[in-house]
Amino acid sequence: MEAQPSGKRWRGHLRNQLYGTAWRVHHVLRPTRPFRRGAERALKLDLTELTLSFADLPSAFDGYRILHLTDLHLDNIDDTAVETAARVAGIECDLCVITGDIRDNIHAPLHPLIERLEHVVSSVCALDGVLGVLGNHDGAAMVAPMERIGIHVLLNETLTLSRDTDDLHVTGLDDVHRFHTEEAYAALDAAPEGFCIALVHSPEVAGHAAERHRLYLTGHTHGGQICLPGQRSFTSGLKRHRDLGRGIWRQGRMVGYTSRGIGACIIPFRSYCPGEVVLVTLRRATDRVSVNGSDADLG
Ligand SMILES: [Fe+2]
């Protein structure tokens, strides 16, 4: 696992300046009505339901349901954990996956953050438990407390889930932005033969994952978070694969979903871009994708 951020020093300095400016703007605008409404909107979470059919899905996993949570930023807007717990309560699934950015402020104390995360996780009903990967707002110090509350954190490694005589492999990467190392690529390359799912905080390595994986669940972009009408975003936050910044997509034989995420990053505000939790149902059938009951043509 990486301990130090990658990238040049000036980039870190620029990032800190940007965070500082965003916080100052936020404190000036916070009492205003549009800003308060934006914060309230940020806590209203959609449930997006995907049905993904794969001809090569092992038959024991036909009907397998995966609850995907990402970008919770639990220390940004106070009630995010409470609202998320309420949204996921009652959703029955086989597996829950959390694809990073549990934290917002990279210097925030861990104890209250983990308490909030535990509140969310205790509302999840998942037969095979909860898997997690770290995002660019998280850090190595979070792994042990996350594991203590029952989240199996995958750090550039693959976990195999078995049912009857069938296997489903899940590869989870450490953050590929702030803490990127070549170990992330090595973990994707080392995924075993068979049906593999990649959990990665960001779509950045989708091209590489498509060589061995059939499904890629990700976040990081927040769908733009602060958008113009029609969910038109100002930036993707991606260096590569900028066309994969939101929703369902395909790379080769691999299907991916970039969630808009749950919380808000730095500025506690969402505009024309509601947060979401995603429920994926896997089917063994001719390759096909449906989003909230409507077929999606991915070309
Ligand atoms: Fe995020």
State the pTM of this model.
0.90
Q: If DSSP codes are grouped into helix, strand and coil, which group holds residue 33?
A: helix
What pLDDT, in 10s, does the model give residues 198-228?
Answer: 999 999 999 999 999 999 999 999 988 888 8
Task: Tell me how far the alpha carbon of residue 203 lies from the centroid of ligand 1, in angstroms.
Answer: 12
Can you tell me the distance from the alpha carbon of 131 to that of 152, in angstroms, rounded to the nearest whole number?
A: 5
Domain ranges of the chain: 9-292
Distance (Å, whole) CA 248 – CA 128:
25
Question: Residue 231 C-alpha to ligand 1 middle, in angstroms?
Answer: 17
CB atoms within 10 A of CB 267: 21
Task: Compute the distance between CA of residue 4 and CA of residue 207 in angstroms, rounded to an integer.
Answer: 25
Beta bridge partners of 278: 48, 68
Q: Which CATH class is domain 9-292?
A: alpha beta
Does residue 15 have a pLDDT over 80? no
Q: What is the pLDDT of residue 3?
A: 47
What are the φ and ψ backbone dihedral angles of 55, each rounded to 5 degrees?
Answer: -65, -25
Between 2 and 79, name the one with better pLDDT: 79
C-alpha of residue 222 to centroid of ligand 1, in Å: 6
Q: What is the mean pLDDT of residues 71-89?
A: 95
- pLDDT tens sequence across 148-176: 999 999 999 999 999 999 999 999 999 88
Q: 56 C-alpha vs ligand 1 centroid, how far in Å?
A: 32
| Ligand 1 mean position, distance from CA 199 (Å) | 15
